[in-house]
Amino acid sequence: MVMAMNRLMAHDVTLAYGRSKAVAQNLTFQVPDGRVTSIIGPNGCGKSTLLRALARLITPVAGTVLLDGEAIHRQPTKEVAKRLGLLPQEQVAPDAIVVEDLVRRGRYPHQSFLQPLSAKDRAAVERALELAGITELRNRPVDELSGGQRQRAWIAMALAQETPILLLDEPTTYLDLAHQWEILELIRRLNREEGRTVVAVLHDVNAAAWVSDHVVAMRAGSIVAEGPPEDVLQPELLRRIFGVHCDVVESGGVNVPMCIARGRSIWRRHELMVRSLTDGSDEKGARPAEPALRAERLVAGYQNRRVVEGVSVSFPAGKVSAIVGPNASGKSTLLRALARLLPVSEGTVWLHERPIGRSGRKAFARQLGMLAQEAPVPPGMLVQDFVAMGRYPHQRWYRQWSPADERAVERALEVTGTSELRWQPVEALSGGQRQRMRLAMALAQETPVLLLDEPTTFLDMAHQIEVLELVRRLNETEGKTVIMVLHDLCQACHYADYVVAMKDGKVVAAGAPNEVVTEELVQSIFGMHCTVFPDPVTGTPLVLPYAASDTALQEVVLESH
Amino acid sequence: MTTRTSAPPSRSEPSGVRVIRLGAFSFRVRLRVAGLVAVAAVVVVGLMAWSLTLGNYALSLAEIHGALKGTASADARFIVVDLRLPRLLTAVAVGSMLAMSGAIFQGILRNPLVSPDIIGINAGASVGALLLIVTRQPLAYLPAAAFVGGLVAAAAIYALTWRGHISGARLILVGMGMNAMLTATTTYLLTQAEIRDASRAVLWMTGSVYGSDWGDVRLLVVSLAVLVPLGAALMWSLRVLQLGDLTAHTLGMPVERIRLFLIITGCALSGIAVSVAGPIGFVALMVPHFARMLAGPMTAGVFVLTGLLGAALVLGADMIGQHATGVSLPVGVITSALGAPYFLYLLSRTRVRL
């Protein structure tokens, strides 16, 4: 019997950047033809590196990548590009380039210098625009598009290339729930309707399970498991891959498994639920907590653009609050206005019933700390020196290291579990460690109120849980009031006592998670279908989105109501 | 120098750090940085002593000692006190000021490619100084004119770059445009000047410490005495500013005010240095990198180290220009010819990300 030969495969490849240690070792992997394959795994497991090797962007140190039975790096670039399209993780577009022009560049491998744009090229561009659903955006500059639209424009460019195989590197990163699903649906359609082979690196296990026929799970540079999604979506296996306990749950009516990563706090949550069931009283509902931070008719924005439009909201003291909403709904802007980082054009903000404009800068910084989404980290700096900068509002130029500073830094390192890392240079840390270090800095500031802007972005599942568990612990053991922007609805419901939902610069709903997060709310703020059901262990709401195209699923959900 | 000492390591501090507390004052001192500062200081003093002995009229260290004490012959005293000493003190002060100014600008802009000579601040100082020369104002105002020229250039660059925030790439482009414009202005001023003024101006612009007198030294020493403590104190805030404006704001720093102080200090350092020695290239760009490669991220200690390294570079370059080659070369030529290759070598070797 002759063994079936797949068009694209990696044979015993070892991958490394420069002369450094190998990122992946002895990988053998066949891309199933005409299927959607996703590669999952924690940060730094080598999944993007493998994809880059498949795309001929890096040459393996040992082994070969075969395209149609021939070593890919021996084939000319243009020949490869006619058969293989790639969506890179970070795209760089020239300023002000319009969508159609960008998509047209995908035709490069089919063109030559003397014959620039044939009727065939034009037809391919039209088709790509249509498939990606951006025909009406063709004359818009790429940098003015929303995140989801921009990602679709880039995918359209890869589509115009008209390759039977498409490689996508984290196509859903930076996108909110609705935009993520927009892209996942597109991937599925490309496969079902066009018969293209798709390989996507994804960080969201549930998205991978939904979109793909074949899942490849990687850890520490090797392939741990491979198979159809239902085989890979097993708690023990997920634990081995991501190093975090996972439950796979199914909602009542809908037969779709969903993976939820768990931290230690589920037990406390579980107790709370049991208690509220037996007592019949909700701990939170009994006595409304006094607000730590309160905004009234707040209007804020950048230069001429108003982003937050008359928001009145109050955040309970001693609780964890989460702000959720789609991209560009004003979540981060609200947080910045609360932290006095943006001028407030109208309305007032009170911190512990005192208008925030009244206190001096340093005095305010001793009351309220904020962790920005991303900040430059000076290279070569040691972790402890970084954390110690959180002491700035307590220091003077001549009092740079008082015993109180020393104690606060010591404690911050201890609570965040970064004591062992203190003498490491910051660039040596992993994503999760770096985020814990940044939290430690905010903690060393010793403020009763802590604002966190998307503390889990850029982190994989295990690190996300690690950071959120830490936030919970800070609230419970240190009594901190935490207000954070989160993009994962399930995590927001699980880790916050109070949820604020925003859309178009306004607060749409606020309250306890199970009161706020409903199917109607998700539909209205994200504009997408989902089913919301209680977590069988903790009782907090779980949100399971599904595509509009999934009519079968839609019917089941409607019936179950 | 030692980074580890035999003292028992306390739980909260590694052996490479000492905490100094005195009443309300408290500081952390990194032993490695302190050691490097000490070594650099010894090197500078050594170079100074050696430099005094060199020249057509060779002197021994004992004779120099005598000259300084006033016991040597009148000739020796004249050569040491009136000719060699002012020149070498000028070289030392100018070198340290340029280097520290570079450290400040690279720090506030979080960009390793900026230095006052590249983004037009030195050119601004030159225009200020030249205006003074061609309009025949008293030369006593030269430092003030150069300082104001530099400050005006910095303000213009800042205003043209500002778009809600300062973007590094944009700033360099604006700065280069400014530099070109100001350099053209200097040339124009020279062509309009009378020959006597023009030749004086050209001599000044070559960038040389030749012919410095005690008046220059006095000015430089006073400026250093004011600006170095100021700069060192500001480093405390600059360190936090390097985490980005947003983080600096959340830590309660008056970001715009601190940045203004830093810019004024940086302009004063480079403007005054330029007013005395003319624009000496390369020192401000390169020396802060040396210091960071040796000692790590910028702190007050590294700032002082930067100054000492700048002093050693300019003094050493002046010694080479004066004595090692047959002809007397201006110091700026040597700093570039010597420093640049070594700098490139260091860049290719080091793992420090810039």
Helix (H) or strand (E) holding A28: strand A24-30
Q: Does A272 touch chain B (CB under 8 A)?
A: no
Are A370 and B250 a contacting pair at CB < 8 A? yes
Whether the pLDDT of residue B159 is over 50: the answer is yes
Interface test mutation site (partner A, options B234, B251, B298, max chain A beta carbons within 10 A): B251
Mean pLDDT confidence for A241-255: 79
DSSP state of A320: E
| Token couple for A490 | 């399930």
Are A340 and B292 a contacting pair at CB < 8 A? no
Most confident of A365-369, A472-476, B108-112: A365-369
Mean pLDDT confidence for A445-449: 94
Higher pLDDT, B180 or A92: B180
Q: How do strand A530-534 and strand A541-545 relate by DSSP bridges?
A: antiparallel
Whether the pLDDT of residue A115 is over 80: the answer is no
Could you give the CA distance from residue A521 to residue A166 in angstroms, rounded to a whole number? 35
Whether the pLDDT of residue A307 is over 70: the answer is yes
Higher pLDDT, A208 or B201: A208
Q: Which pTM was predicted?
A: 0.85
Question: pLDDT tens-digit profile of B63-89?
Answer: 888 888 888 888 888 888 888 899 999
> What b/e string do you get for A183-194 counting C-beta neighbours within 10 Å, with b at 16 or more?
bbbbbbbbbeee
Contact A435, A403 (CB under 8 A): no
Residues of B with Cβ-Cβ distance to A378 under 8 angstroms: 239, 242-243, 297
Whether the pLDDT of residue A267 is over 60: the answer is yes
pLDDT-based confidence at A301, cuts 50/70/90? confident
Mean pLDDT confidence for A315-334: 91
pLDDT-based confidence at A199, cuts 50/70/90? very high
Least confident of A279-288, A460-469, B142-151, B326-335: A279-288
pLDDT-based confidence at A320, cuts 50/70/90? very high
Q: What is the pLDDT of residue A176?
A: 84
Whether the pLDDT of residue B98 is over 90: the answer is yes
> Shortest CB distance from B254 goes to which of A361, A370, A372?
A361
Whether the pLDDT of residue A287 is over 80: the answer is no
Q: Does B240 touch chain A (CB under 8 A)?
A: yes
Residue corresponding to tokens 């590197």:
A169
Q: Does A174 touch chain B (CB under 8 A)?
A: no
Question: B41 burial class (0-12, 13-18, 19+ CB within 10 angstroms)?
Answer: middle
Q: Does B169 touch chain A (CB under 8 A)?
A: no
Question: pLDDT tens-digit profile of A395-421?
Answer: 988 888 999 999 999 999 998 888 988
Could you give the CA distance from residue A342 to residue B130 in angstroms, rounded to a whole number? 43
Q: Does A377 touch chain B (CB under 8 A)?
A: yes
Residues of B with Cβ-Cβ distance to A361 under 8 angstroms: 252-254
Q: What is the pLDDT of residue A255?
A: 66
Under DSSP, is residue A359 helix (H, G, I), strand (E, B) or coil?
A: coil
Q: What is the pLDDT of residue B11?
A: 47
State the maximum Cα–Cα separation within chain A, in Å, rounded to a whole number: 82
Residues of B with Cβ-Cβ distance to A412 under 8 angstroms: none
Q: What is the pLDDT of residue A319?
A: 92
Closest-CA distance, A152 to chain B, in angstroms, reads: 29
Q: What is the pLDDT of residue A276?
A: 54
Question: pLDDT tens-digit profile of A513-542?
Answer: 989 999 999 999 998 888 888 888 888 899
The candidate with the shortest Cα–Cα distance to B17, out of A513, A409, A70, A332, is: A409
Q: What is the pLDDT of residue A268?
A: 64
How much is the mean pLDDT over chain A?
86
Higher pLDDT, A135 or B109: A135
Q: What is the pLDDT of residue B15?
A: 63
Contact A252, A533 (CB under 8 A): yes
Are A399 and B24 a contacting pair at CB < 8 A? yes
Contact B171, B156 (CB under 8 A): no
Whether the pLDDT of residue B9 is over 50: the answer is no
Q: What is the pLDDT of residue A275?
A: 55
Contact B55, B274 (CB under 8 A): no
Contact A68, A83 (CB under 8 A): yes
pLDDT-based confidence at B7, cuts 50/70/90? very low
Whether the pLDDT of residue A273 is over 90: the answer is no
Question: pLDDT tens-digit profile of B250-274?
Answer: 999 998 889 889 988 998 999 889 8
Mean pLDDT confidence for B178-182: 94
Mean pLDDT confidence for B86-109: 93
Say how many CB pairs under 8 Å bridge A and B.
Answer: 94
Whether the pLDDT of residue B278 is over 50: the answer is yes
Whether the pLDDT of residue B2 is over 70: the answer is no
Can you point out the beta strands (E) in A220-304? 222-227, 246-250, 257-261, 291-302
The candidate with the shortest Cα–Cα distance to A334, out of A376, A297, A363, is: A297
Higher pLDDT, A320 or B3: A320
Contact A313, A294 (CB under 8 A): yes
Mean pLDDT confidence for B152-157: 91
| Token couple for A360 | 């001096």
Q: What is the pLDDT of residue B329?
A: 80
pLDDT-based confidence at B6, cuts 50/70/90? very low
Are B243 and A378 a contacting pair at CB < 8 A? yes
Whether the pLDDT of residue A274 is over 70: the answer is no
Could you give the CA distance from residue B268 to residue A73 in angstroms, rounded to a whole number? 57
Contact B165, B107 (CB under 8 A): no
State the maximum Cα–Cα separation within chain B, in Å, rounded to a whole number: 70
> Shortest CB distance from B251 goes to which of A376, A399, A445?
A445
Closest-CA distance, A206 to chain B, in angstroms, reads: 34
Closest-CA distance, B135 to chain A, in angstroms, reads: 43
What is the strand order of the sheet A36-40 is part of?
Answer: A84-87, A165-169, A197-201, A36-40, A214-219, A222-227
Whether the pLDDT of residue B12 is over 70: the answer is no
Whether the pLDDT of residue B336 is over 90: the answer is no
Whether the pLDDT of residue B134 is over 80: the answer is yes
Q: At A67, phi and psi to the nearest 5?
A: -115, 120
Question: pLDDT tens-digit profile of A170-187?
Answer: 888 778 888 888 889 999
pLDDT-based confidence at B152, cuts 50/70/90? very high
Torsion (CA) A48, A50, A54, A57 in degrees, nearest 10: 60
How much is the mean pLDDT over chain B?
85
Q: Does B296 touch chain A (CB under 8 A)?
A: yes
